[in-house]
Amino acid sequence: MTFGIDLETQLFMPKEVVWDRNIKYWENFLKKTVPDTTETYGCDTDYSFEEKGGLFLPRQVNKPEQNSYESSAVMENIKPNSRTDILTRAAVAGFIVGELLYSIACTRPQPPVTPPTQPVPAPTPTPTPEPTPVDNPPEILSHYIPQEVNADQEFQGTANVTDDYGIERVYVVFRNGEKLETIMERADGEYRARLRLPSKGEYWYSIGARDTKGQEAKPVEDKMIVLPALDSDEDGDGFTWEQEMKQGTDPNKPDLNLKYVIDKGLFPTYIELEQIKQMDEDGKQDESEKLTLDTAYEILQSNVSDTAKKDNIIYLLSKPSEFLDAYKTLKAVSDNNTTLKNYLQRGINEEVIKYIAFLNSLANKQFAQEALIKKLGIELPVEMQVKFLTEPEKNKEEVLNYLYNEISKINPELAKEPDSIFKFSKKTTLEKAEIVEDVLGMGKDVLDPAIYKKIFDTTIGSMLNEGIKGKRGIWTPGLALIEALYGNEVEYLEREKPYASLFPEYSPTYKNVRLFYGFRDLPLMRFVAYSLDKTFKTMSFDDAVKILNTPDLLSVYWGSNVGRWNYVNHYGVLSPLESFNKMSGDCEDYSYFNLYFLIKNGYNYNNFNQYENDAAVGMAVFWDPTKPFVGGDAVILYKRDNLFYNLSFATIIGPFKTIEEAVNSVSSSWKMYRFHDGNWNVTKTVYRQ
């Protein structure tokens, strides 16, 4: 089998196969090489062959006059050989076929051929010569140094520096008699330095930079102020520079008065900075300033409300001379500073200063001093005040009527009560005027109108509700109030002792009993106990019946007389009058006493189903009826706000929801209890089931 070379794959293949493949190869070659002969070439084109690598291949030649068919003679020039015969003949045969097709195409009329316009080549750009490197010195683009710092206080300086090749060194130099130089380190794209200057004064600084070739930047120069150290005291007033800055004072001028009030605890709660800065304007503290601030400190130590303290101190600083004169007068007449404290609580203001000045002008110095202590006429209009203080006896009725009218504006009910108390306590008209004025001024001493109103709505309101209105013998809290005011004891709340001190454990029997002090108004009863303590020990039986008109008042009465009562067991029961006079007896005696007083003042006997309030009964509870002296106890069972309470001598126990709960509070092991009426007769007996 004969083999030939396939022109497309360059592989040896059988001759028959190679011949066909190579003919197709050249057909494709000519199509690609001359796709449109009539347009690309003229009819003057002919082909010949040349030898390349042992192969005969077609070559174009220009023979205008030669017939294209003559090219078939080329076959005669091919010399066959064993390696290329098949390949060459196939190539030539393919070429002849292609030329035949080409010649036929050339026989058709051809349009004139316009040679393609050749593009004009662009001029070759002249290359830009490389710039010659220029080595500029470094440049400081920006910087930051604070304008003011304190001595020995660390701060940060920064600089932004650029250079063509590289920075070798950035530095800052400070000058203030001596040179201080610091290298700045690169961080986060800038140069930084932590700096600290040792002493106060004006410093000039210069920021410089040097590159790696030794060239220096144009330095940046400016000045800064170094203030005294934060912990320094430049003016010797005891405040550091930092403190002076925080409080807004001049660190170069002594603030002696401010230092004084801070040390005394007056600033800033009671004295404002602007007030004290006026006193420190000259940088000194003179005697009058010290006296003013010492007085402010005394007011701070006084036992008055914080509001009263602040108001008095503010007025003192605004008008020191006038205030100090009034303050001195009040101190002179004060017994244990009581009068002074009362005026401070009210507030020493322009009206009070004028009032004191007028009293000081009266010829009757004794009356003036007494009026000052009692604040007589202080609630009156100025014109009426002058008339009353000049001729008190002549004008007392007018003043009393005016005061009653003023009280009625605040609480109409209160204005009606004092008259009956005055008849009971036998006060003169002048004393009445003094007392009613004190009642009117009670709330005003607090200054705040809201608190003033609250006193009359709560305190006075609660006082008016003690006892059955229209049936009580007398308005006892009002009597206590009058005695306190007339005795100049408005500060009664300050003198209160713990309530338990009124009711000591007078008998071992009660040590294990849980006591519920069920007063309707405990502060009121404390006040009554102190104000009427002497009255409780000196009043007559008839007065006692009028005064002791509620269970709470009876409890307070027995509490104040617990040391006087002699507990003695005996058969029978003493009358209330006998118990009052003897101050001795057993549980039935004082229980009978209590029930008698309640019924006399409007309490209903027993009708618990009918009344939610103000019903009472005597109750004897027995846990061993065979032992009358040690097997039982007697109390008063009463009802208030639909709840039950026991009054046992001076102790109120309760509340209870039911009668049985109240009985169990006396003895959980009771066998029998019975009710007694106002004459201590048995009206009901209940045995335990």
Contact 579, 614 (CB under 8 A): no
Q: Is residue 116's pLDDT more than 70?
A: no
d(CA 322, CA 306): 22
Predicted pLDDT of residue 597: 97
Length of the chain: 689
Same fold across 139-227 and 498-687: no
pLDDT at 106 over 60: no
Pick the more confident residue, 75 or 638: 638
Average pLDDT, the chain: 80
For residues 131 and 232, the model is more confident at 232
Domain-by-domain residue ranges, the chain?
Answer: 3-107, 139-227, 379-495, 498-687
* 52-74 mean pLDDT: 45
Question: What tens digit of pLDDT does each residue of 629-685 get?
Answer: 788 999 999 999 899 999 998 889 989 999 999 999 999 999 999 999 999 999 999
Mean pLDDT (whole number) for 160-172: 92
Query: What's the pLDDT tens digit per position in 587-618?
Result: 999 999 999 999 999 999 877 878 888 899 99
- Greater model confidence, 308 or 110: 308
Residues 123 and 169 sit within 8 Å (Cβ to Cβ):
no
Q: Of residues 32 and 170, which shows the higher confidence score?
A: 170
CA atoms within 13 A on the CB side of 214: 0
Say how far apart CA 37 and CA 101 lie, in whole Å: 10
Query: Rounded distance, CA 508 to CA 431, Å?
Result: 46
Q: Which helix (H) or strand (E) holds 267?
A: none
CA gap 678, 576 in Å, rounded:
10
Q: Which long-range contacts (CB under 8 A, 24 or more apart) does 666-672 make?
A: 666/619, 666/621, 666/633, 666/635, 667/621, 667/623, 667/632, 667/633, 669/623, 670/621, 670/622, 670/623, 671/622, 671/623, 671/624, 671/625, 672/621, 672/622, 672/625
Q: Are 223 and 205 in contact (CB under 8 A)?
A: yes
More confident residue, 470 or 338: 470
Contacting residues for 133 by C-beta, under 8 A, at least 6 apart: 164
Does position 461 have pLDDT exceeding 50, yes or no? Answer: yes
Model pLDDT, residue 354: 95
* Least confident span in 6-15, 184-193, 490-499, 677-686: 490-499
User: For residues 428-437, b (16+ Cβ closer than 10 Å) or e, as one string?
Assistant: eebbbbbbbb
pLDDT of residue 72: 42
Q: Give the residue ranges of DSSP H helices in 411-448.
A: 412-416, 418-425, 429-444
Q: What is the pLDDT of residue 629?
A: 72
Higher-confidence residue of 626 and 310: namely: 310
Which segment of 36-45, 204-213, 547-556, 638-647 scores lowest on mean pLDDT? 36-45
Q: Taking Cα atoms as reference points, which of 64, 60, 90 lies closest to residue 75?
A: 90
Amino acid at 578: E
From residue 497, give the alpha-carbon distance in Å to each of 253, 283, 413, 502, 530. 51, 49, 31, 8, 9
SS3 (DSSP) at 108? coil
Residue 123, pLDDT > 60, answer yes
In Å, how far are 570, 586, 622 from 630, measured between CA atoms?
11, 11, 9
Tokens of 154: 């660390």
CA-CA distance, 89 to 75, in Å (whole number)? Answer: 8
**Structural fold of domain 498-687:** C8orf32 fold (3.10.620)
Q: What is the pLDDT of residues 348-372, one digit of tens each?
A: 999 999 999 999 999 999 999 999 9
The residue whose two tokens read 């009964």 is 617
pLDDT band at 45 (very low <50, low <70, confident <90, very high): very low
Cα separation values, 559 from 379, 464, 501, 578, Å: 37, 22, 9, 19
Is the pTM higher than 0.85? no
Band (37; pLDDT cuts 50, 70, 90) = very low
pLDDT value of residue 681? 93
CA 663, 668, 672, 678 dihedral sign is negative
Q: Over range 326-349, report the average pLDDT.
A: 88
pLDDT confidence of residue 214 = 92
pLDDT at 399: 92
What's the pLDDT band for 209 if we cut at 50, 70, 90? very high
Average pLDDT over residues 185-197: 92
Within 8 A by CB and 6+ apart from 127, the residues are none
- Contact (CB, 8 A) for 342 and 375: yes
**Measured distance CA(256)–CA(239) in Å, rounded:** 9
Per-residue tokens: 689: 């089931």
Mean pLDDT of 276-301: 94
Is 93 a residue whose pLDDT tops 70? no
Q: Give the percent of the chain with pLDDT over 90.
A: 48
* Rounded-to-5 percentages of helix, strand, coil across the chain: 45, 20, 35
One-character DSSP codes across 355-373: HHHHHHH-S-HHHHHHHHH
Whether 102 has a pLDDT exceeding 70, the answer reads no
Q: Which residues contact 494 (CB under 8 A, 6 or more apart)?
A: 303
134 in Cβ contact with 164 (< 8 Å): yes
Confidence of residue 287 (pLDDT cuts 50, 70, 90): very high
Please state, as a whole number, how many other Cβ atoms lie within 10 Å of the Cβ of residue 263. 11
CA dihedral 457, 460, 463, 464 (to 10 degrees): -70
Concatenated DSSP letters for 622-662? ES-TT-TTTSEEEEEEEEETTEEEEEETTEEEEEESSHHHH
What does the block give as tokens for 462?
A: 């609660």
**What pLDDT, on the 0 to 100 scale, is given for residue 454?**
63
Q: For the domain bounded by 139-227, which CATH number is listed?
A: 2.60.40.10
Higher pLDDT, 164 or 291: 291
Helix, coil or strand: residue 170:
strand
What is the predicted pLDDT for the residue at 71? Answer: 42
